[in-house]
Amino acid sequence: MTADASSISLALAGGISSSLDESSATDEDVESVVAQTAKENYTGLCIAQVNDYVNVRSTASEEGEIVGKLFNNSVGDVEASEDGWYLINSGNVHGYVKGEYVVIGDDAEALAEQVGTRVATVTTETLRVRQEATTDSSILGLIPMGEELTVLDEQDGFVKVSIEEGDGWVSTDFVDLRTDYVYAESKEEEEARLAKEKAEREAAQKAAAAAEAKKSKSSKKESSSESVVIGGGSGSVGGSSIASFASQFVGNPYVYGGTSLTNGADCSGFVMSVYANFGIGLPHSSSAMRSVGYGVSLADAQPGDIICYSGHVAIYVGGNTIVHASTASTGIKFTSPVNYKNVLAVRRIF
């Protein structure tokens, strides 16, 4: 079917520069031109869809200087378009990305709901997570102030969150809600991050070596530390020793707020105390542990790495297994597979 004159005139009135022959143009031809023109003049939300990242450049050319990286599922705002490139703002990065590596328009709006992470930050001293969306429901678990939980659902003044004991509900009166998106990283931010990670890694290695040296000189070594050997393993110095040391406490109790490896610890208290044995200071917070050391992928996890979940944290021991202070009913135990629940981050100290 051919397009009638009115549809072509309407399209041309919309600002389309086209060489379509009105006598032979089809509806599909006109729609294609309209869509292309809309894309070329688009301003609004964009989301990267790449395997890893796409470079953001100073000019609309592959010869342009790289000013940052837009990672997969990262969000930006399109300012303008030029020859198949979009000029974007994302985080502290302002530059051009190739249009083929981002989605825009309705597709981006729909995808934004998937790539954004809804987070609830605990604002009360001890948050009671309940089985149902009511304050009269039985308590599923307890979460301390400052922890950040992944939100799964929202309804009538309550949000559904994920914790180690399962998925439960909390009142919005006791949490702050936000939506997190990933943004581009500038060249300067990347350099600063890598330098910080290197410094932290070197400091951790020195602290661990010092702790081991101190123990080796002591005539009263604890039997729990006699087998520690710093420097073993492939890639993660001391990681295997961390995993081995942590594993010997399996069967000991879980205690909310606790830090004792023998008398009871909660999840972050357990990880904190294990690392303290090697001279490494970590925060007593599962959320805060998502920022210690440096990040690696779950596929590259090595023994000793810290595995972070919503409201929970564990130590990887190898073989797709973690050791962790799980719940009051199970205590410190092994769990496999590692992704028995959604993994938010994997952090490596050494």
The pair of three-digit structure tokens given for residue 262, joined into one six-digit string? 């023998």
Q: Cα–Cα distance between 252 and 74 in angstroms, integer?
A: 42
How confident is the model over 299-324, as pLDDT tens digits? 999 999 999 999 999 999 999 999 99
Task: Specify whether the backbone of 230 is left (phi greater than 0), alpha (psi in -120 to 50) or beta.
Answer: beta
Average pLDDT in the 18-35 region?
58
Same topology between domain 5-113 and domain 185-348: no
Of the candidates 157, 151, 95, which has an alpha carbon nearest to the alpha carbon of residue 120? 151
Is residue 43 pLDDT above 90, yes or no?
A: no
**10 falls in which pLDDT band (50, 70, 90)?**
very low
**218 falls in which pLDDT band (50, 70, 90)?**
low
Q: Out of 101-115, 201-215, 219-233, 290-304, which region has the weakest mean confidence (pLDDT)?
A: 219-233
Is residue 8 pLDDT above 50, yes or no?
A: no
Is residue 12 pLDDT above 90, yes or no?
A: no
Q: How many CB atoms lie within 10 A of CB 114?
A: 9
Is residue 232 pLDDT above 50, yes or no?
A: no
274 to 96, 247, 289, 304, 306: CA distances (angstroms): 46, 10, 13, 10, 11
By DSSP bridging, strand 345-348 and strand 175-180 are: unpaired
CATH assignment of 185-348, given 3.90.1720.10, 3.40.50.1000, 3.40.50.20, 3.40.50.720?
3.90.1720.10
**Distance in angstroms between the alpha carbons of the first and the last residue of the chain:** 67
Q: Cα–Cα distance between 289 and 285 in angstroms, integer?
A: 6
Give the per-residue pLDDT at 70. 98
Could you give the percent of the chain with pLDDT greater than 90? 74
Could you give the percent of the chain with pLDDT greater than 70? 83
Give the per-residue pLDDT at 20. 53
Give the per-residue pLDDT at 350. 81
Q: How many CB atoms lie within 10 A of CB 37?
A: 16
Residue 4 carries which DSSP code? P
Whole-prediction pTM: 0.78
Average pLDDT in the 131-155 region?
96
Average pLDDT in the 98-126 region?
95
**32 falls in which pLDDT band (50, 70, 90)?**
low
CATH superfamily for domain 116-180? SH3 Domains (2.30.30.40)
Domain ranges of the chain: 5-113, 116-180, 185-348
Q: Cα–Cα distance between 165 and 125 in angstroms, integer?
A: 19
Query: Would you state the CATH architecture of domain 5-113?
Result: Roll (2.30)
Give the per-residue pLDDT at 238. 78
Average pLDDT in the 35-62 region?
87
β-partners of residue 333 are: 324
Residues 6+ apart with CB under 8 A from 145: 122, 123, 124, 125, 126, 127
Side chain identity, residue 49:
Q
| Highest mean pLDDT: which range of 214-218, 221-225, 304-308 | 304-308
Q: Cα–Cα distance between 257 and 146 in angstroms, integer?
A: 13
Side chain identity, residue 94:
H
- Total H helices, total E strands in the chain: 6, 23
Average pLDDT in the 204-208 region?
84
What value does the mean pLDDT of the chain take?
87
189 burial type by CB count under 10 A (0-12 exposed, 13-18 middle, 19+ buried): middle
Q: How far is CA 283 from the centre of its chain?
A: 18
Give the per-residue pLDDT at 21. 56
Cα torsion through 291, 344, 284, 266, rounded to 10: -160
